[in-house]
Amino acid sequence: MNTSQVSMLDVKLALPGDNQSNIKRIQALHTVKEILDVARQMATKEGVSKKTPLTISYTDADNELIRVEDDSDLQMAYCIALSTDGKIKFVINYPQADLKANIPPLVMPVPVVVEEVKQESKPEPPKMVP
């Protein structure tokens, strides 16, 4: 696999979430560190703390999630993409609990106990019988 082949790949980087615009087309970067740097920029922009650990993965032809841990894994991903349709989408993975955004805590309603106030009952006046 040479550099010109890799540069022809259609590479996308996706940050999971509600917003479909969290997918970015990137050049075929040569190291995992370079991809993680772009991933960090995307994640930070979406409110993920800079201290949150990020990983990168992709789905292969067998529909299995493959984690990219080093440059060798990255080159393998590119080889697979070149041998199929020339496209690959890397997904940014991070613990969802580490969001920096100000999400209000879940507030559970507190049951309210209503006491009936008994009023003194007035005796009904006697009914008149004709």
Considering the entire predicted model, what is its pTM? 0.69
Per-residue model confidence (pLDDT) at position 34? 96
Per-residue model confidence (pLDDT) at position 92? 94
Give dist(CA 118, CA 127) in Å, integer.
25
SS3 64: coil
Give dist(CA 23, CA 12) in Å, integer.
7
Among 38, 28, 23, 34, which residue's Cα sits nearest to residue 82? 28
Q: Domain spans of the chain?
A: 3-98
Per-residue model confidence (pLDDT) at position 15? 92
Per-residue model confidence (pLDDT) at position 54? 95
Query: Residues in the chain with pLDDT < 70?
Result: 1-2, 18-21, 97-126, 129-130
Give dist(CA 45, CA 111) in Å, integer.
39
What number of CA atoms fall less than 13 Å from residue 77's CA on the CB side?
A: 31
Per-residue model confidence (pLDDT) at position 103? 46
Q: Which residues contact 31 (CB under 8 A, 6 or more apart)?
A: 71, 74
Give me the CATH code for the 3-98 domain, please: 3.10.20.90
Per-residue model confidence (pLDDT) at position 33? 96
Per-residue model confidence (pLDDT) at position 79? 92
- Chain centroid to Cα 73, Å, comes to 23
